[in-house]
Chains A and B, each alone.
Chain A
Amino acid sequence: EAEVAQSPRYKITEKSQAVAFWCDPISGHATLYWYRQILGQGPELLVQFQDESVVDDSQLPKDRFSAERLKGVDSTLKIQPAELGDSAMYLCASSLRTSGEKTGELFFGEGSRLTVL
């Protein structure tokens, strides 16, 4: 069964350092999402891509976070500089295009757990 691939699974870094996460969605999925999940809370959307275009990055802290999906396939999420409050699970998800009233179901990767010291 096709899966969303993410790396690294775990990342420990010191504050003020740069970190990057990579995601390869399920083949054919036009929509890609980056979510942040703090322990005990629901996932919070950071950025949503439709093919190579950003369709929603309203919750992305743009002073330190950046995301790209240059060829409309895999994607990278970068944080520079990392802060203590960035410690969380970073989940990538992908879906088919929405159709009518239906929103494409999200397929999540295993996530990248970030710890900032």
Chain B
Amino acid sequence: GQQVMQIPQYQHVQEGEDFTTYCNSSTTLSNIQWYKQRPGGHPVFLIQLVKSGEVKKQKRLTFQFGEAKKNSSLHITATQTTDVGTYFCAGPRGETSGSRLTFGEGTQLTVNP
């Protein structure tokens, strides 16, 4: 079945450095979502990408969806301590957008002030 893999598992950066996490699927995705989970908190929706090659920005965060719709990335420019948390990508398991949403294992980001 479809699996969503994320790398790296952990990332430690100094405040001000950039950060990127990558998400790869074994099958084509109809869309991909990104979530952030603060330590001790619950996942919070960040964004959804639908189109091949789509790029979306939210302030210092840039999200990309690959041309083949099998991979995605999240890039944070000039990290801040408020960026600390685990970032998850998630994609529908089946061929339709209503299929179960499968989460990756997440990338845990720590930021040293």
Contact = CB atoms under 8 A, between A and B. Distances in A.
Instruction: Report the contact-size class of chain A (Cβ under 8 Å from the partner).
Output: 20 to 34
Contact of A106 (B43, B97, B102): B43
A33 B102 CA distance: 12
Contacts, number: 62
Given A102-B50, A106-B45, A108-B43, A41 B105 contact: yes
Interface of B: 6, 30-31, 33, 35, 41-45, 48, 50, 88, 90, 92, 96-106
A92 B57 CA distance: 28
Contacts of B30: 101, 103
Contacts of B103: 35, 42-44
A107 B43 CA distance: 8
Contact of B101 (A91, A100, A103, A111): A103
